Structure 1
Amino acid sequence: MTQALSRHDRVLGSLIGGAVGDALGYQVEFDAWPFIAAEFGPAGVTEMRFNRVSDDTQMTLFTAEGLLLAAPGGEVESVRKAYLRWLNTQREPMPPMASEGLAAQPWLYARRAPGNACISGLAAHDRVGDASDWRARTAGVNANSKGCGTVMRSAPFGLRHSPAAAYDLAEQCSALTHGHPTAGTAAGAFAMIVSHLVNGETPQRAVSETMLHLRRDLGRSETADALQRAYMHAGTVPPGPNTCAKLGEGWIAEEALAIAVYCFLGTDDVRAGLVAAVSHGGDSDSTGSVLGNLYGAAYGHAALPREWSSQVEGREVIAALAGLLSAEPVSESAV
């Protein structure tokens, strides 16, 4: 077990850490490594010039809100409705009158390169509305998509639920927008790792237990293989600028998770790990966000670089959600 930390400190650390990694990576999302090196230097993205978060943090917060508002057994439907509220923030310039909760926060209405599958998948649900047969009428949404949009939003499942329940809920909610099985497996694996960490497991054990869970089903092999490559890479190549290139660019679910896990297992230096996770050509905000969630859950809020965690966009709202999310952990029997 890692050092004794309160549940609140781990939850706060995970949500703020995710926002920090997101903001660092959003500065260079879509940029190739040579351009990043020329702009920030060969050491990579070592400074937060802008504190803006992307759709990664936005959707993570709406996941948390959906879980907080859910009745036992109604988590998927509550998260679905929360995602539809997020969809409205991407369509409107500011909160409509009488908006409540996250939907009343003007800063969340910024459109920061949201994923196409998230937008189109939720649009299908929006057309159905609150119909009782929405599951049948939206089955197979984006059936071939396994973009990382399902992974980057799934930490709250692990912050709120047991490892097994977190996996199942993240997998089910992944299918709201991404129909490819690997999208669900990667989201579930991420949520399971986070849950193990919040329970005090070491990074190595949290990842190993999750890999064992994946290996029980051949249909999960794509994600399991990606995590195995990350595990091996972490043991041979210390994380640094562009050292994750061997694992992909992070646009798809299992690659984003693998890059974050590689950096997570490769170093417990939070600053160095976050720099490595975003200093590459690809989906830098997502890989940074996922790693920040992992680091915060493992080492707590105090382990995050203060000059980054203190200034990240939306900090007060994120901290308030963390307080609510950590107040009453849900038992597995409630899911």
Structure 2
Amino acid sequence: MGATSGAVWGRGEQQDFRSRVRGTLLGAAVGDALGAPVHQLTLEAIREEHGGTGLTDLAPGHGGRGAVSHLTQLTLFSLDGLIRAQVRRDTGAWHPPTDLHRAYRRWAATQRDWGPDERRKEDGWLAREEWLYARRSPTRALLLGLGDDTMGTLDAPKNPGDPGGEAAARSAPFGLLVGWEPQLVMQLAVECAAQTHGHPLAYLTAGAYAVVVHALARGENLDGAVQRALALLAARPGQQPVTDALQHALGAVRQGMPTPARVEELAGDGTAEGTLAAAVYCALVGEDVRHGLLLAVNHGGPSGTAGAMTGGLLGALHGETALPPAWLAELEGRPTMLVLADDFAMEMTQGPALHGPAGSSPGWLARYPRG
């Protein structure tokens, strides 16, 4: 299915895929914007600030309602890097991890204190979006991992002691490579996570999350998608804590009504695999997208990361139209996200027609340069 496998897309398939791409990107961003203002607050502190039922709506954070964090910024650059990688296939110089590293370095450049404008034409259009230059609490691991030209790899990873979930939270776009085999999706997500988060729990969780999104984007249900990730994890060294966390999430679904305590217990100490478990649980038990996202952020753990990952799952599962319209209306950067999502969907379904070997569309190559 898709340009990467040589299949022909029907109009209905294209529309469904575009809806799921939009849903994944917007869902992750809405979850991020919802959870960021209460990230790492205790449940008591959340209720003290927002009332006895906790957070029920977007709240001011990073200067306004609907503002996103660095997690969404990086997710956008993941999608941009994947488009650029596809465009470069025509050149014969195709190594997607390198293209993703370049994309993440373009994000890192937005986080510097700029003097003269050093942005370059070959950076493409996304790197010229002014709103992405806001610093939204990027962590030390991200800034260090992307602080020089050296790309972290599985053999020589950056920040091998950091098991956090940030690399996983930016990995939903890998799951949108629906023309790829699931094991290749996992491998790419794992390799790209190691560029900033070289702990096995961090990069294996990123791979598992990408595979779950991949199955959802192909039309599978969430339980089946998790089973697919578990099967692929089985052969990976160091995978047992990630496998245990996902199985714990599936088991928790049968333990009665969802509560903040159960979400917090799944999230554990906020490392990557626990955050993914919490996200899977919230996506499984949520009555609808709004309910699932509110579950994902109302607890004393990594609310922003869990919200973003839950939103990515629910958006891939249900598509754009299932997301709460009122929250989308206030979402920072939504026009940019829609353009990027639609460009990705076009590249995946019509890539050769857009930029074939002769470079038939200079406009497309100006937006997504091969350099």
When the two structures are superposed, what TM-score results if normalisation uses the length of structure 2?
0.81
Q: Mark the structure with the bigger radius of gyration.
A: 2
| Partner residue, 2:125 | 101
The question of whether the paired residues in 1 share the 8 Å contact of 2:154 and 2:194 is answered with no
List structure 1 segments (4+ residues) > 6 angstroms apart after TM superposition: none
Structure 2 counterpart of 1:63, from 73, 78, 84: 78
Query: Matched residue of 1:219: which SS?
Result: coil
Moved more, 215-224 or 49-58: 215-224
Deviates more, 1:67-76 or 1:245-254: 245-254
Q: Aligned residue pairs: how many? A: 321
Deviates more, 1:19-28 or 1:35-44: 35-44
- Displacement of 1:45 in angstroms is 1.5
CA distance in 2, matches of 1:137, 1:43: 43
1:126-180 CA-to-partner distances (Å, cap 9, x unmatched) read: 3x4xxxxx56899232111111111000011011243222111000001101111
Q: Which of 55, 63, 81 is residue 102 of structure 2 equivalent to? A: 81
The equivalent residue for 2:134 is: 110
Bigger Cα displacement from structure 2, 281-290 vs 248-257 = 248-257
Distance 2:234 2:285 in 1: 22
Q: Is the 8 A contact 2:222 2:317 kept in 1?
A: yes
Match of 2:22 among 9, 12, 36: 12
Q: Give the match for residue 6 of structure 2.
A: none
In structure 1, C-alpha distance between the alignment counterparts of 2:161 and 2:131, rounded to whole Å? 32
- Residues 1:327 and 1:239: Cα distance change in structure 2 (over 3 Å): farther
Change (3 A) 1:188 1:311: same
1:289-308 Cα deviation digits (max 9, x unpaired) = 00101000000111111100
- Secondary structure in structure 2 of the residue aligned to 1:151: helix
**Map of 1:134-283 to 2, 5 A cutoff?**
139-161=156-178, 162=180, 163-217=182-236, 219-249=238-268, 251-283=270-302
Quick check: 1:298 aligned with 2:322?
Answer: no
- 2:175–2:185: 8 Å Cα contact kept in structure 1? yes
Alpha-carbon distance in structure 1 between the residues aligned to 2:139 and 2:269: 13
Cα distance in 2 between the residues matched to 1:166 and 1:268: 29
Aligned CA distance change for structure 1 residues 196 and 252 (closer, same or farther; 3 Å): same
Change beyond 3 A, Cα 1:136–1:213 = closer
Encode CA deviations 1:58-117: one digit per residue, 9 max, x unaligned.
Answer: 000001111110134321001001101111111135964556422111111111111221
Instruction: State the partner residue of 1:131.
Output: none
Structure 1: tracts of 5 or more residues without a match: 129-133, 331-335
Tell me if the contact between 2:249 and 2:278 (Cα under 8 Å) persists in the aligned partners.
yes
Q: Which runs of 5+ in 2 are unaligned?
A: 1-12, 60-64, 350-371
Cα distance in 1 between the residues matched to 2:300 and 2:222:
26
Task: Give the TM-score normalised by structure 1.
Answer: 0.90
Change (3 A) 1:216 1:135: closer
- Give 3-state SS (helix, strand or coil) of 2:255's partner: coil
Tell me the CA shift for residue 251 of structure 1: 3.0
1:322 paired to 2:322: no
- How far 1:42 sits from its partner (Å)? 2.6
In structure 2, relative to structure 1, the CA distance for the partners of 1:35 and 1:9 (3 Å cut) is: same
Kept in 2, the 8 Å contact 1:240–1:273? The answer is no
What percent of counterpart residues are identical?
A: 39
The more displaced of 247-256 and 276-285 is: 247-256
RMSD: 2.2
